[in-house]
């Protein structure tokens, strides 16, 4: 059925999104060497993306709601792909920061656009696994980026590597624009949509549930973003690894994250179909944050790169378990405003990414090690668990099986 093809094509989009996003971390060493950049400079380069990505979340979500995911995704993928290629032409820190900021703004529309496509095409009972599938693509893309960039840089240099990556995204955008339609020929789950909230975006944005969703997503992104920014250089420098060894290790947590996306997505839908429907979003997310706390706390206690990667993998698995329930929750409470509502959550979440990318090098310099960062991440994950305790389902369809909430 075509709705499954829609999920498959959006999975490919997610794959491309994270290959482009993680490329800058893989290319940190040659970029920093050629442009004479310090670790603090590269922290701002990483952070510029996260800041631009966060700022543009709500506008891009509104754009997808207003004009449809077909046009919205075609436009934003083309924009960020061109900026990916342009990264290969920069010659100064200032220009690199600006390009990465604009690149982040372009990528901001990816997952809110996907959320709106899922609202149009999928029934409530399939949204958990659909989110799990597309976000697993992001983790696989992130994992693939490390060896792919090592190979591209080794053969063509870092500048041409970014040009080639940008071309792939343009091809996807052209295909999407020609193939996808905003609505299926036969409307899906009309009865479910009638039972979903008919509140305005402003009403949802001001709600307690939305506030808690944004706080917990900040915590999850703070923990996860190290995998896309500082984990690779941290492993390489802290344990004196070669480029290929560091790339191999850096793939592992992201592969675990991909597994978590599928596991959590199917768990969300399985609980939704049971008598404990009201816990279908909360239980997977709370379990995920418990694992994230354990992983972040344990990484301070290990002495080998393999053990450190195992801790990162546990933390990443846990943090990624929270993604599918978070986005399903936003579609539940957002309804026809799903793009803007999910964009709002993702906006605050990516401020967490921005803070993470800036905090790591400064905390490292201040304290002489990475322990302070890992402790901060674990404490934020504890706060996120408390948030999910209070994130009771607001959709009548999810509440309707009793008093579990």
Sign of CA dihedral 350, 144, 8, 329: negative
Give the list of residues 6+ apart from residue 386 with CB closer than 8 angstroms, or none. none
Domain layout of the chain by residue ranges: 2-396
What are the pLDDT digits (tens) for 219-247?
999 998 877 677 877 788 878 888 778 87
Q: CA–CA separation, 333 vs 331, rounded Å?
A: 6
Residue 398, pLDDT > 70, answer: no
Report the chain's C-alpha Rg in angstroms: 20
Q: CA–CA separation, 234 vs 369, rounded Å?
A: 10
pTM: 0.76
- The stretch 184-195 carries a mean pLDDT of 61
What are the pLDDT digits (tens) for 266-275?
898 889 888 8
Measured at the CA of 360, the angle between CA 31 and CA 365, to 5 degrees, comes to: 90
Maximum distance among all alpha carbons in the chain? 62
Residue 401, pLDDT > 50, answer: no
Question: What fold characterizes domain 2-396?
Answer: Growth Hormone; Chain: A; (1.20.1250)
What are the pLDDT digits (tens) for 49-103?
878 888 898 898 889 989 999 999 999 999 999 999 999 999 999 999 999 999 9
Instruction: Name the pLDDT band for 213 (thresholds 50, 70, 90).
Output: very high
Contact predicate 10/117, CB 8 Å: yes
Burial pattern 223-259, b for ≥16 Cβ within 10 A else e, equals: bbbbbbbbbbbbbbeebebebeebbbbbbbbbbbbbb
Q: CA–CA separation, 300 vs 379, rounded Å?
A: 14
């Amino acid at each position: 059925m075509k709705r499954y093809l829609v999920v498959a094509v959006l999975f490919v989009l997610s794959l491309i999104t994270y290959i482009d996003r993680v490329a800058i971390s893989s290319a940190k060493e040659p970029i920093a060497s050629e442009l004479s950049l310090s670790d603090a400079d590269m922290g701002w380069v990483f952070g510029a993306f996260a800041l631009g990505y966060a700022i543009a979340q709500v506008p891009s979500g509104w754009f997808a709601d207003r004009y449809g995911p077909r046009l919205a995704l075609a436009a934003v993928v083309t924009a960020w792909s061109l900026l990916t290629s342009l990264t290969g032409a920069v010659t100064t820190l200032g220009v690199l920061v600006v390009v990465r900021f604009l690149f982040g703004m372009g990528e901001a529309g990816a997952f809110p656009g996907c959320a709106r496509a899922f609202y149009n095409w999928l029934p409530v009972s399939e949204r958990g696994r659909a989110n799990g599938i597309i976000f697993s693509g992001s983790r696989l893309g992130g994992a693939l980026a490390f060896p792919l960039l090592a190979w591209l840089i080794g053969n063509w240099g870092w500048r041409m590597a970014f040009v080639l990556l940008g071309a792939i995204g343009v091809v996807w955008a052209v295909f999407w624009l020609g193939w996808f339609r905003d609505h299926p020929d036969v409307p899906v789950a009309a009865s479910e949509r009638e039972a979903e909230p008919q509140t305005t975006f402003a009403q949802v944005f001001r709600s307690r549930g939305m506030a808690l969703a944004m706080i917990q997503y900040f915590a999850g992104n703070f923990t996860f973003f190290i995998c896309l920014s500082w984990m690779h250089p941290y492993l390489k420098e802290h344990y004196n690894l070669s480029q290929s060894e560091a790339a191999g290790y850096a793939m592992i947590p992201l592969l675990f994250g991909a597994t978590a996306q599928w596991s959590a997505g199917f768990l969300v839908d399985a609980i939704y179909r049971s008598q404990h429907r009201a816990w279908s979003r909360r239980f997977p997310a709370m379990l995920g944050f418990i694992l994230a706390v354990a992983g972040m706390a344990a990484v301070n206690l290990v002495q080998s790169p393999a053990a450190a990667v195992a801790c990162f993998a546990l933390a990443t698995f846990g943090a990624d378990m929270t993604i599918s329930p978070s986005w399903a929750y936003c579609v539940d409470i957002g309804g026809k405003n799903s793009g803007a509502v999910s964009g709002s959550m993702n906006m605050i979440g990516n401020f967490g990414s921005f803070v993470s990318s800036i905090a790591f090098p400064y905390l490292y310099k201040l304290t002489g090690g990475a322990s302070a960062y890992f402790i901060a991440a674990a404490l934020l994950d504890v706060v996120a668990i408390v948030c999910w305790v209070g994130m009771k389902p607001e959709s009548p369809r999810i509440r309707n099986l009793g008093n579990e909430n």
